[in-house]
Amino acid sequence: MAVTAVAIVGGLATDTESEWYRNLDRPSWQPPGPAFGIVWTVLYATIAISATLACRDMRGRPRRIVVGLFAANLVLNLAWTWIFFQAQSPRAAGVEILFLLGTILGLIRLILPDNRTAALLLAPYGAWVAFATVLTWTIAARN
């Protein structure tokens, strides 16, 4: 449920039609707009499945830590969208996304011993956010 809420609110906060966004100097290797919606739909599904599997198989303190890290991850995921599109601050979004990427890597590391599948489901998310980190910093440097 939380993943769905983040997906919906994040989608609403994404404003690629604003004059500010249209006037950004973006690199030629940025994927086309529709690709983002497709990729994020798949990634949100894998995040939800990963969280479900991890929480099912973990107990006690490790489970609480993973639940907290998933929650922090979703907050950071949504925050990037707000910082970039609403606050119109690519540099601040560039700093923030480093924390987002850190939570993904932390989740993979913590979940891996208990549920390899749940951990590996986060790998595409990590790869996409790593790519988004480079893209965000490239946009910040060009504007």
Structural domains in the chain? 2-25+35-142 (1.20.1260.100)
Task: Select from 87, 88, 58 the least CA-distant residue to 70.
Answer: 58
Cβ atoms within 10 Å of 12's Cβ, excluding its own:
9
Q: Is it the case that residue 7 has pLDDT exceeding 80?
A: no
- Given a contact cutoff of 8 angstroms between Cβ atoms, the answer to whether 70 and 107 are in contact is yes
Give the list of residues 6+ apart from residue 62 with CB closer than 8 angstroms, or none.
Answer: 110, 114
Tell me what pLDDT residue 104 has: 98
- Alpha-carbon separation of residue 91 from 82, 85, 140 (angstroms): 13, 12, 5
Arithmetic mean of pLDDT, 90-116? 97
Arithmetic mean of pLDDT, 66-70? 94
Tell me what pLDDT residue 67 has: 92
- φ, ψ for residue 17 (rounded to 5)? -100, -5
- Alpha-carbon separation of residue 39 from 20, 32, 61 (angstroms): 24, 11, 32
Q: Is it the case that residue 93 has pLDDT exceeding 80?
A: yes
Tell me what pLDDT residue 3 has: 65
